[in-house]
Structure 1
Amino acid sequence: MVTFDEVVDVVVVGSGSAAMATALAVKESGRQPLVLESTELAGGSSAMSGGGAWIPNNPLMRAAGVEDSYEKARMYMDTVIGDVGPASSPERRHAFLTQGPRMIEFLQGLGVELVYARGYSDYYPEKPGGTPIGRGVEGQRWNMKKLGDWHKNVRGYVPMAAHTTEVGRINLAFRSWRGFATAAKVVGFHTIAPMLVGRRPAGLGNALMGQLFHAARTRGIEIRLQTPLVELITDDGGAVVGVVAERDGVRTRIGARHGVMLAAGGFAKNDAMRQQYHEHPITTAWTNANPGDLGGPLQAGMAVGAAVALMDDAWWGPSVINPDGSAGFLLAERSLPHGMIVDSSGARFMNESESYVDAGHDQYARHRTVPAIPAFLILDSRHRRWYPIGFALPGITPKKMLESGFMTKADSLEELATTMGIDAAGLVATAQRFSAFARAGKDEDFGRGDSAYDRVYSDPRVKPNPNLGAIDKPPFYAVRIWPGDLGTKGGLLTDEHARVLREDGSVIEGLYAAGNTSASVMGNTYPGPGATIGPALTFGYIGGRHAAAQEPRAL
């Protein structure tokens, strides 16, 4: 007979979007959850993210008069994901598409304010079932002070109360009145003005997670920080009946009458696991995931017989190493005109505006034949004058960026190539070919600017193609590009109820997984903005409701 120090209905491991959706679903089903977070800050990578959730046919789309359907979204998912095995089974796709809209209605019913990210295109809008108008939702701008002193416990606070649909326009603040007006509204009206009256304005991932925490705390859901999972506890039949957790050096056995949800991210910060599962070269230095993404809960699931899938994949994306040594994720910078990405031979090997997951796959594929890790983002003077890069404003290149080696500046492409270790003749020839494409408005090599998604981050003032600009005006700049990520994509194999499965397909009773602890329903691709958080919220909601509905175990 297993003995416990305390017993609750459902133990939720993690505190990101999947975990909080689980906890709220459990609570609203009349059961009591307990949330365990391993670090000193809550929110995980969700709090550090753009905060968007890709949910086809969601109620905010319908309210905006935008037509979508299960059939259209299913066609799109089937087309872009393909057959990747049980992680993205037909049953899991069906569950995501049918329960996702209900999850949104559930959160709205709890007082979580969401907005439709209209205009943020699917990543393959030209594919069957795709749409350029977008299927994403995100948190409304929010005042973190509503959490009281607990707002200090939320990870990654950035005082910028923006929506994802505004970011592209803000990048053009020095290029258009619309961009300037958007930046002034976001920075002045929505950020600085509220701060002057004592508020703590938030947007993006902080706005979403802040509201989820507020909903949880007002409903009496306990969130224990600095309480990592040590191991899962099983009964004689192999069912998971609780956890061993550690706090202040003391281990506690916590029973779970209805089950345990593992929703604590993947293994992006676990070097040993990355070396084991991912293509080389690989390092934890390139990831943008939160520091607690160490893979412990995933390993705990494997220790009790859980199957895994997609372990060699991640939510890849071109990344830089900032002057302070942190990783930075490139999005608009590589898509805006007057820039291109090349390998060590000086040749391009991707559409720089494509989905970041595709860009990561392409960088590794290129590196198998031509050294492309690092690759190099090459910019001419107009890119640096007109657009931001990282936290550097347009036209302002801090000395620290150059002195640290983050960015290299040269008066000619030949000099830039020599300094960076790029083949000079190759770089010059590529720049000439690329510049000809820019003048003609057609990228004949990779189709950059052809897709509506490419143009989400573009400059309409640059014609005839808003993603293409010649690279022929000195000085020139180069930044090293690494195959970073937002987190790992592989994890525990789950069914349509978020229940964890064994290799033989049988269910591990009492064990659930969602978010990056589970193998993604999105397979090896990324259908649209928020294709991490969308399934995380949905399968957290599904798993929480399913666990709460089970007959309680006598513990």
Structure 2
Amino acid sequence: MAARQLRRLSLPTHLPLPIRPHVRHLGTAQTNCHRFDHETDILIVGSGAAGLTAALRSHFHGLSSLVIEKDAQIGGTSAYSGGGLWIPNNPLAVEAGIIDTPEQAMTYLISVIDADTAEDTDVRRASSPPRKRAFLTHGPHMVSFLRDRGFAFRLSPGCPDYYPQAHGALPTGGRSIEPDVFDARLLGLGEKWTEAIRQRPGRSLPLFTYEASSVTRMGASWRDVGTVLRVLLRGIYLSRVRGQIPVTMGKSLVAQLLWLHMQLDQGPVLTDTALRQLIATPEGVILGARVATPDGERSIRARCGVLLCAGGFAHNQGLRERYGPVPANAEWTSAARGDNGDAIVAGVRVGAATALMDEAWWGPTLRDPVRGMYYFALQERARPFGVIVDSSGKRFMNEAEPYTDAGHHQYAQKAVPAWFVFDWNHRKRYAVGSLMPRQQPPAQALDAGYIHRADTIAELARQIGVNEKGLEGTLARFNEMADCGVDSDFARGESAFDNYFGDPTVRPNPNLGAVRTPPFYAIPLVPGDLGTKGGLLTDEHARVIREDGTPVQGLYAAGNTTASVMGRTYPGAGATLGPAMTFAFIAIDHIASEHV
């Protein structure tokens, strides 16, 4: 491989990387008065799970593809994620004997997404019946396609739909799947694989999603300690005994897709290559794109189409302030740094419609007391012995509810920040971010206000500027309800989703525990997100469409670059990646139907 292509993957040139050029170098090809430096059948913008899935599907149809990535590493936010996919009626569930049907899943989506949206034009357009049907129809085929090529999935055991009491839900799980453990040695890069695929700071364990709850509550029971030991022993066995580099979750998702991509000789993934603009004819037909490379700007001809799957605009402060609720802060997001809306802006410039631009995959987010970085608070708030309050000291939601709903409630209550108040019982049992059970908060975290500590509730309220009497009254009522095991105000702990992140050793309600044992703690919570969920409007074929509903010929989109088929909700674990990969799969199938 040429040294330039290796540099684009941020790798030393002596490393063997089995990705070879598959782009035709034409010098100065000319089409409809546009001059192009390179050409391919399909140009794929973005190297996350959707983009790599699209490249694999392109090869299946005999089409060449070129994946470009603006950053030095591939994977985007997909690599940061838990790697889960929400795919109703998926083949793993069928093999496990779990009863599900597309009709049941459609009933669930309608009951969750379409409730109270009669006047919400954005939801009706982004989550139209044809788009829902396309997702439910093609999702299982996408999973089978990847499995047939060697991708290893596994069920996420016991992971319920997020609204288990809704019509059509699966309360005991079956619709969420995740990548199995993968040996990153297979990439042929040794330890340098971490330079090719995006990584979060810190070392991660090879654990699965169902084990994460035990790892973060290992102070609660010996059973949870046993799970932690199992994860540690798995890592030791695979790495030291078998000589592997074991990865799970989002890193496994991206690494497996990249590995399959390498086996097929499908062409390079060009890193450090950013989309500048789409190139169209005067009639609006997309011909290709202008991109910025380390060697200057180049034009790429896409003979069959361009697929935009480059994420949303989570790190674009200007777009967030223009479209989203306020206050907004791009630093609160968990999305990858390159997630700044380039693909959405490029689509709008060629006439694409947008929807749900005020939305994100919201969730209460805290400042990690140990690492100092923002951290998506998925499990902490669902555990017993804690509450979330606003500045008046009042609760305003079920603390264990689905995270996107919790984010909506924070904005509706104007509780930015809200305060997560908990006691020593919580502290000695559960992790808070990277702060392990019983671990004392670092002095710098206390000084910076990432976490507060006091011997009395009154003192804690004064520290954080919350109404003292309001907080004391809230906790008095909450503690009475916790002792009885029934949250009469917000029904916390009454759904299978709440319980999934609770503590089964606490009875009668695994999500409720009184906040009365000093010292007391408080952490500010902001409405962060896993990425934005508004963007280009697409149809059931993943074609980008205009305001009048006509497609922009030659332009497709998937993932967070689009207005989500999930509307303003989050139906289940993997409801971001599942549709992203499915609609990328659909896009390539439609392109092939038009050109092969």
Q: Distance in 2 between matches of 1:397 and 1:543?
A: 51
- The one-letter code of the counterpart of 2:61 is S
| 1:174 matched residue in structure 2 | 219
Tell me which moved more, 538-547 or 309-318. 538-547
| 1:69 matched residue in structure 2 | 101
Q: Distance in 1 between matches of 2:550 and 2:337?
A: 33
Q: Does 1:203 align with 2:236?
A: no
How big is the shift at 1:392?
Answer: 1.1
Among candidates 539, 544, 552, match of residue 588 of structure 2:
544
- The one-letter code of the counterpart of 1:20 is L
| 2:436 matched residue in structure 1 | 393
Q: Distance in 1 between matches of 2:199 and 2:405?
A: 26
- The one-letter code of the counterpart of 1:106 is F
Paired residue secondary structure (2:277): strand
Paired residue secondary structure (1:50): coil
Q: Gaps (5+ residues) in structure 1?
A: none
- The one-letter code of the counterpart of 1:36 is I
| 2:403 matched residue in structure 1 | 356
Once the two structures are superposed, the pairs formed by residues 213-228 of structure 1 within 5 Å of their partners are 213-221=258-266, 222-228=268-274
- The one-letter code of the counterpart of 2:355 is A
Q: Distance in 1 between matches of 2:263 and 2:423?
A: 52
- The one-letter code of the counterpart of 1:393 is M
Superposition RMSD on alpha carbons, in Å?
1.2
Q: Deviations over 1:331-365 (max 9, x none)?
A: 11000100110000000001010000000000000
Among candidates 355, 365, 368, match of residue 322 of structure 1:
368
Once the two structures are superposed, the pairs formed by residues 343-382 of structure 1 within 5 Å of their partners are 343-367=390-414, 372-382=415-425
| 1:532 matched residue in structure 2 | 576
Paired residue secondary structure (1:5): strand
| 1:99 matched residue in structure 2 | 138
Q: Distance in 1 between matches of 2:372 and 2:330?
A: 12
Once the two structures are superposed, the pairs formed by residues 480-519 of structure 1 within 5 Å of their partners are 480-519=524-563
Q: Distance in 1 between matches of 2:58 and 2:440?
A: 50
Instruction: Tell whether the 8 Å contact from 2:54 to 2:585 is kept in structure 1 after alignment.
Output: yes
Q: Deviations over 1:183-215 (max 9, x none)?
A: 1111222x2333335432111111111101111
Change (3 A) 1:159 1:200: farther
- The one-letter code of the counterpart of 2:487 is D
How big is the shift at 1:379?
Answer: 0.7
Among candidates 198, 213, 221, match of residue 155 of structure 1:
198
Paired residue secondary structure (2:579): helix
Q: Distance in 1 between matches of 2:225 and 2:150?
A: 32
How big is the shift at 1:220?
Answer: 1.6
- TM-score using structure 1 length: 0.97
Tell me which moved more, 231-240 or 254-263. 231-240
| 2:169 matched residue in structure 1 | 130
How big is the shift at 1:165?
Answer: 1.2
Q: Distance in 1 between matches of 2:441 and 2:198?
A: 27
Paired residue secondary structure (1:497): coil
Q: Distance in 2 between matches of 1:266 and 1:538?
A: 17
- Higher relative CO (Cα under 8 Å, sequence separation at least 6) belongs to 1
Instruction: Tell whether the 8 Å contact from 2:139 to 2:582 is kept in structure 1 after alignment.
Output: yes
- The one-letter code of the counterpart of 2:186 is K
How big is the shift at 1:148?
Answer: 2.0
Fraction of identical pairs, as percent:
46
Q: Deviations over 1:486-516 (max 9, x none)?
A: 0001000000010000011000010000000
Q: Does 1:87 align with 2:134?
A: no
How big is the shift at 1:249?
Answer: 5.0
Instruction: Tell whether the 8 Å contact from 2:162 to 2:571 is kept in structure 1 after alignment.
Output: yes
Among candidates 306, 324, 334, match of residue 288 of structure 1:
334
Q: Does 1:46 align with 2:93?
A: no
Among candidates 425, 437, 451, match of residue 407 of structure 1:
451
Once the two structures are superposed, the pairs formed by residues 225-304 of structure 1 within 5 Å of their partners are 225-304=271-350
Q: Deviations over 1:103-158 (max 9, x none)?
A: 01001011000001121010001100011122101000112221122622111255
- The one-letter code of the counterpart of 1:540 is A
- The one-letter code of the counterpart of 1:141 is V
| 2:358 matched residue in structure 1 | 312
Paired residue secondary structure (2:362): strand
Aligned length: 547
- The one-letter code of the counterpart of 2:388 is I
Paired residue secondary structure (1:231): strand
| 1:17 matched residue in structure 2 | 49
Q: Distance in 1 between matches of 2:316 and 2:449?
A: 27
- The one-letter code of the counterpart of 2:188 is G
| 2:59 matched residue in structure 1 | 27
Once the two structures are superposed, the pairs formed by residues 396-475 of structure 1 within 5 Å of their partners are 396-399=439-442, 400-475=444-519
How big is the shift at 1:530?
Answer: 0.5
How big is the shift at 1:325?
Answer: 4.6
Paired residue secondary structure (1:301): helix
| 1:57 matched residue in structure 2 | 89
How big is the shift at 1:458?
Answer: 0.8
Q: Distance in 2 between matches of 1:264 and 1:397?
A: 40
Q: Distance in 2 between matches of 1:380 and 1:81?
A: 36
Tell me which moved more, 490-499 or 192-201. 192-201
Q: Distance in 2 between matches of 1:205 and 1:490?
A: 22
Q: Distance in 1 between matches of 2:78 and 2:236?
A: 24
Paired residue secondary structure (1:458): coil
Q: Distance in 1 between matches of 2:207 and 2:558?
A: 27
Q: Distance in 2 between matches of 1:401 and 1:12?
A: 42
Instruction: Tell whether the 8 Å contact from 1:21 to 1:544 is kept in structure 2 after alignment.
Output: no
Paired residue secondary structure (2:595): coil
Q: Does 1:521 align with 2:565?
A: yes
Instruction: Tell whether the 8 Å contact from 1:88 to 1:523 is kept in structure 2 after alignment.
Output: yes
Runs of 4+ in 1 over 4 A off after TM superposition: none
Q: Distance in 2 between matches of 1:491 and 1:263?
A: 11
Q: Distance in 1 between matches of 2:418 and 2:485?
A: 25
How big is the shift at 1:420?
Answer: 0.3
How big is the shift at 1:278?
Answer: 0.4
- The one-letter code of the counterpart of 1:254 is I
Q: Distance in 2 between matches of 1:266 and 1:334?
A: 27
Instruction: Tell whether the 8 Å contact from 2:172 to 2:496 is kept in structure 1 after alignment.
Output: no
- The one-letter code of the counterpart of 1:137 is I
- The one-letter code of the counterpart of 1:256 is A
Instruction: Tell whether the 8 Å contact from 1:274 to 1:282 is kept in structure 2 after alignment.
Output: yes
Tell me which moved more, 167-176 or 469-478. 167-176
Instruction: Tell whether the 8 Å contact from 2:217 to 2:437 is kept in structure 1 after alignment.
Output: no
Q: Distance in 2 between matches of 1:124 and 1:349?
A: 19
Q: Distance in 1 between matches of 2:445 and 2:186?
A: 37
Paired residue secondary structure (1:548): helix
How big is the shift at 1:544?
Answer: 1.6
